[in-house]
C-alpha cells in the first residue's frame, strides 16, 4: 500500500496512524482483538478505537495492541445534534473512567434504546415486522443498537441487497425507518472529552449536509469550545475533500486527523491503516499528544 511507515520516526506526517475504527462494542463486526490484529498486519503504528458512544472495547484492545507493538490511543465517537443534524465528534486520548464522560455516554446509550424501539415500530408500520428484534440479534452490545444493525438484519432477511441500499431506502432522513433523535449537544460532548483529558476531533466533516453558513458555524463553535482537530483523510472523504478540509484545518488552526472509520472487512470501502498520508500542509493531531503515544507504545 502506501509509503507510510510502521515505526516511530521523527517525521510524524509519515507515521501510519489510524485514529477512527469500530468494534462489536458498537457497529463494527470485529472484536477488539481481531481489529487490533488486523491493524497490526496492515502496519498501523498508532491505532485508536472509536466506538459510537461506548468505551467497553478499549481495555482489551490496549492489551492486544501491546502484544503487537501497536501504539494504542483510547477513543470514542460521540453522537451530537447540531443544527438539527447528527454530527460525530471523536475524542482521542480520553480516560474512559472519567465520571462526566462515562455518565454522558451512558445517557446517550439509553436514548439509543428508545430510538431503536421507535425505529422498529416505524418499520412495522411500513410492513416490515420484527426489525427491532432482528437488529438486536446483530448488535454485539445489546446496549448499543445502531442503524447499521437494522441494515444488516434487513439484508439478511432479503429486504435489500446491501446495507448501503437499506440506508438509502429506509434509514436516512425522510425515509420510513428514520426516527429523528436528539443526541448530545456539541458543548456537552466537548466538555465530556476535555474532562476526560482528551482531544476533540470533528469526524468526517465532509459528510454532513450543511450549507456553507452551517458548516462555518460548526467549525467556529467547535473551535470556541476548545476543539483541536478535524478529520482530513478519512474513509468518508473523496480525494478532493482531503485538500478542501486540509485547507480549512489550516485556516481555522486545527490539527488534522487520519482515520479509516473501518467497520467490517466485508462492508467497509477502506481497510484499516490503508489511507494515504495527510497533505503536507497539515499538522497531524497525533503530534499533539505525543506524550500519550510514547507512554502507550
Ligand atoms: P446511528 O449512530 O445508529 O445513527 O448509525 C450511524 C451509523 O450508520 C454510522 O456510524 C455508519 O456506520 C452507518 N451509516 C450511516 N449512513 C450510512 C450509509 N449511507 N450507508 C452505510 N452506512 C451508513
Ligand atoms: Mn458506525
Ligand atoms: Mn461517524
Ligand atoms: Mn465512525
Q: Is 162 in the pocket of ligand 1 (CB under 6 A)?
A: no
d(CA 283, CA 278): 8
- What length is written for the chain? 297
- Mean pLDDT throughout 112-127? 97
Residue 202 backbone dihedrals phi, psi, to 5 degrees: -75, 120
Ligand 1 atom showing the smallest separation from residue 168 Cα:
19
This prediction's pTM: 0.95
Q: Is 167 in the pocket of ligand 1 (CB under 6 A)?
A: yes
DSSP of the chain, one letter per residue? --S-BSS--S-GGGB-EE--B--TTTT-SS-HHHHHHHHHHTT-SEEEE--BT--TTHHHHHHHHHHHT-EEEEEEEEEEEETTEEEEEEEES--TT-HHHHHHHHHHHHHHHHHHHHHHHHHHHTT-TTHHHHHHHH-SSTT---HHHHHHHHHHTTS-SSHHHHIIIIISTTSTT------B-HHHHHHHHHHTT-EEEE--GGGS---HHHHHHHHHHHHHTT--EEEEEETTS-HHHHHHHHHHHHHHT-EEEEE--B--TTT-SS-TT-SPPPPTTSPBGGGGGHHHHHHH-
* Residue 12 confidence (pLDDT): 85
Protein residue with its CA nearest to atom 20 in ligand 1: 164
- Ligand 2 is a single-atom ion; what residues have CB below 5 A from it? 27
The C-alpha angle 277, 280, 284, rounded to 5 degrees, equals 65
Ligand 1 atom showing the smallest separation from residue 163 Cα:
21
- Compute the distance from residue 149 Cα to the ligand 1 centre, in Å: 9
* Residue 289 confidence (pLDDT): 72
- Mean pLDDT throughout 98-117? 97
* Residue 11 confidence (pLDDT): 81
d(CA 235, CA 244): 15
User: Are the C-beta atoms of residues 68 and 40 closer than 8 Å to each other?
Assistant: yes
Q: Give the residue, out of 54, 167, 206, with the most ligand 1 atoms within 8 A of its beta carbon, to mutate for a pocket test.
A: 167
Q: Is 241 in the pocket of ligand 1 (CB under 6 A)?
A: no
- Compute the distance from residue 141 Cα to the ligand 2 centre, in Å: 13
* Residue 134 confidence (pLDDT): 98
- Compute the distance from residue 254 Cα to the ligand 1 centre, in Å: 26
For the chain, what is the mean pLDDT? 94
Task: Provide CB contacts within 8 A for 210, sequence distance 6+.
Answer: 83, 85, 218
Nearest residue to 179 (alpha-carbon basis) of 231, 238, 233, 111 = 111
Protein residue with its CA nearest to atom 12 in ligand 1: 148
- Mean pLDDT throughout 56-84? 97
Q: Quote the percentage of the chain above a pLDDT of 70.
A: 94
Q: What is the largest CA-CA distance in the chain?
A: 58
C-alpha cell at 111: 436514548
Residue 231 has pLDDT above 50, yes or no: yes
Q: Is 164 in the pocket of ligand 1 (CB under 6 A)?
A: yes
Distance of CA 193 to the CA centre of its chain: 14
C-alpha cell at 137: 440479534
C-alpha cell at 117: 424501539
Q: How confident is the model at residue 248 (pLDDT cuts 50, 70, 90)?
A: very high
- Compute the distance from residue 181 Cα to the ligand 4 centre, in Å: 18
Protein residue with its CA nearest to atom 2 in ligand 1: 146
d(CA 269, CA 263): 9
Q: Is 148 in the pocket of ligand 1 (CB under 6 A)?
A: yes
Amino acid at each position: 500500500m502506501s509509503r507510510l511507515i510502521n515505526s516511530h520516526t521523527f517525521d510524524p506526517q509519515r507515521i501510519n496512524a489510524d485514529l477512527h475504527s469500530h468494534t462489536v462494542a458498537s457497529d463494527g463486526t470485529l472484536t477488539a482483538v481481531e481489529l487490533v490484529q488486523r491493524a497490526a498486519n496492515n502496519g498501523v503504528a498508532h491505532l485508536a478505537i472509536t466506538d459510537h458512544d461506548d468505551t467497553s472495547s478499549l481495555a482489551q484492545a490496549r492489551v492486544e495492541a501491546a502484544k503487537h507493538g501497536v501504539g494504542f490511543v483510547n477513543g470514542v465517537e460521540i453522537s451530537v445534534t447540531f443544527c438539527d443534524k447528527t454530527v460525530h465528534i471523536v475524542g482521542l486520548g480520553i480516560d474512559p473512567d472519567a465520571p462526566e464522560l462515562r455518565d454522558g455516554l451512558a445517557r446517550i446509550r439509553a436514548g439509543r434504546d428508545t430510538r431503536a424501539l421507535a425505529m422498529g415500530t416505524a418499520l412495522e408500520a411500513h410492513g416490515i415486522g420484527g426489525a427491532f428484534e432482528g437488529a438486536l440479534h446483530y448488535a454485539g452490545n445489546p446496549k448499543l443498537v445502531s442503524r447499521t444493525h437494522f441494515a444488516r438484519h434487513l439484508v439478511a432477511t432479503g429486504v435489500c441487497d446491501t446495507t448501503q441500499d437499506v440506508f438509502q431506502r429506509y434509514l436516512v432522513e425522510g425515509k420510513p425507518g428514520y426516527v429523528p433523535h436528539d443526541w448530545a449537544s456539541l458543548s456537552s460532548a466537548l466538555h465530556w472529552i476535555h474532562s476526560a483529558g482528551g482531544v476533540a476531533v470533528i469526524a468526517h466533516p465532509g459528510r454532513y449536509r450543511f450549507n456553507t453558513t452551517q458548516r462555518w458555524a460548526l467549525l467556529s463553535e467547535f473551535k470556541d469550545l476548545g476543539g483541536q482537530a478535524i478529520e482530513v483523510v478519512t474513509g468518508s472523504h473523496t480525494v478532493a475533500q482531503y485538500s478542501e478540509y486540509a485547507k480549512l484545518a489550516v485556516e481555522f488552526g486545527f490539527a488534522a486527523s487520519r482515520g479509516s472509520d473501518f467497520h467490517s472487512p466485508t462492508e467497509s470501502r477502506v481497510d484499516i491503516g490503508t489511507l494515504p498520508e495527510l497533505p503536507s500542509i497539515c499538522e497531524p493531531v497525533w503530534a499533539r499528544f505525543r506524550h500519550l503515544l510514547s507512554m502507550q507504545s
